[in-house]
Amino acid sequence: MRALVMDSIGGPLTVRTVPDPSPRPDGVVVAVQATGLCRSDWHAWAGHETLALPHVPGHELAGVVEAVGEEVRSWRVGDRVTVPFVCGCGVCTWCRSGNAQVCPRQEQPGFTYWGSFAEYVALPAADTNLVGLPDSVDFAAAAGLGCRFATAYRALTAVGGLERGQWLTVVGAGGVGLSAVMIGKALGANVIAVDRTAGALAAAEALGADHTAIAGAETAAQIHEITGGGSHVGVDAVGHESACALSILSLRRRGRHVQVGLLPPVGGHPRLPMDRVIAWELSVSGSHGMAAADYPPMVAMIDRGELRPQDLIERTISLEEAAEALPAVDTASPAGITIIDPGA
């Protein structure tokens, strides 16, 4: 198969022919029809994750089941599927309780093993991790679900407890942030989007954000004025010390901050306004993807047209173009999601 291969940390990427994968007894091989280019992929390329080289990145994907292991019971060749970026082992207490996103033995395509920037990808524990796609959801739209969209959905619902009529601040209007804007509006919240670029804020406005603001020293105070005391829920959708602090400072008393963007301890762990957290009894929670068991309500909203992940797609590129785009993710300012078509 053709795949985008990483031979060194922070080095050039090449597209070349590598061996086709085979399914594990409990797994499947999926023919990748679309895969998302995500900031998390950049973190791995930059050395913020432990990888075995050479490596194939890619963790957001959708496609068609190509081969099935002998232990798989629920899936057949030809099924249209996607998968969470966190794949549980399928047998531990956490997986059996529907919380595969925190499985102690979790695997992640594009991180712990070869991922989806390729024509084919092998996926483990298929009966636990695969999610079927209705015909109404195309592959490009589904490719963004496994990380950014599903993560935003769970961050707002199961973790943030966002309710209709409440205020939501989303810091960072990239893929996950724009997903949070769309989902927040669909849930009936009042949404404020914050970013450092006008283009990203324009995209947030197009998705229904009630207010937008350029990130700066006075932004938290502006949010308190707009909301009459601060937001009920804040999300750091970037993964930066300043974004996390802004989300926390935007909250009203007893508000809830959800950390979605990765915060690797580069240069030390982030300094946060914990004095505010304590004095105002704020809740600070992490959100790590979403297990396949929790996908049906989200997929049903997509099927009914209440959520439109396809509207978040900014561009579709080839594997060769992805080799140039991946190293530039940290400095680019996309107003939406980039999808890779491995067959292009």
Rounded to the nearest 10 degrees, the angle between the axes of helix 175-186 and helix 198-206 is 30
Q: What are phi and psi of 159, to 5 degrees?
A: -95, -50
The predicted pLDDT at position 234 comes to: 98
Label residue 105 by pLDDT band (50, 70, 90): very high
Label residue 114 by pLDDT band (50, 70, 90): very high
Label residue 139 by pLDDT band (50, 70, 90): very high
Average pLDDT on 211-225 reads 97
pLDDT in tens, 234-280: 999 999 999 999 999 999 999 999 999 988 777 778 889 999 999 99
pLDDT in tens, 13-44: 999 999 999 999 999 999 999 999 988 899 89
**Predicted structure pTM score:** 0.89
Average pLDDT on 124-129 reads 97
Average pLDDT on 284-310 reads 94
Structure tokens at 279: 């004095």
The predicted pLDDT at position 334 comes to: 62
The predicted pLDDT at position 39 comes to: 83
Label residue 337 by pLDDT band (50, 70, 90): confident
Q: Is the dihedral of CA 232, 208, 307, 147 positive or negative?
A: negative
In this predicted structure, the answer to whether residue 11 has a pLDDT above a threshold of 80 is: yes
The predicted pLDDT at position 124 comes to: 96
Residue from 53, 60, 15 nearest 36 by CA: 60
- Distance separating alpha carbons of residues 322 and 326, to the nearest angstrom: 6
Average pLDDT on 287-296 reads 94
Q: Could you say which DSSP state residue 112 is in?
A: T
Question: What percent of the chain clears pLDDT 90, i.e. is strictly above it?
Answer: 87
Average pLDDT on 134-143 reads 92
The predicted pLDDT at position 16 comes to: 97
DSSP letter for each residue of 217-264: TTHHHHHHHHHTS-EEEEEE-S--HHHHHHHHHTEEEEEEEEE-S---
Average pLDDT on 289-296 reads 94
Question: CB within 8 A of 61, min separation 6: which ones?
Answer: 30, 32, 34, 35, 36, 82, 83, 109, 115, 116, 121, 143, 146
The predicted pLDDT at position 49 comes to: 87
In this predicted structure, the answer to whether residue 1 has a pLDDT above a threshold of 80 is: yes
pLDDT in tens, 143-202: 988 888 999 999 999 999 999 999 999 999 988 999 999 999 999 999 999 999 999 999
Average pLDDT on 313-341 reads 89
Question: ∠ CA 247-248-250 to the nearest 5 degrees?
Answer: 65
Label residue 333 by pLDDT band (50, 70, 90): low
Question: What percent of the chain clears pLDDT 70, i.e. is strictly above it?
Answer: 99
In this predicted structure, the answer to whether residue 295 has a pLDDT above a threshold of 70 is: yes
| Residues 301/307, Cβ–Cβ less than 8 Å | yes
Which residue matches tokens 């080095």? 11
In this predicted structure, the answer to whether residue 216 has a pLDDT above a threshold of 90 is: yes
Average pLDDT on 102-110 reads 96
Bin 2: left if φ > 0, else alpha if -120 < ψ < 50, else beta. Answer: beta
Mean of all residue pLDDT scores within the chain = 94
Average pLDDT on 75-86 reads 96
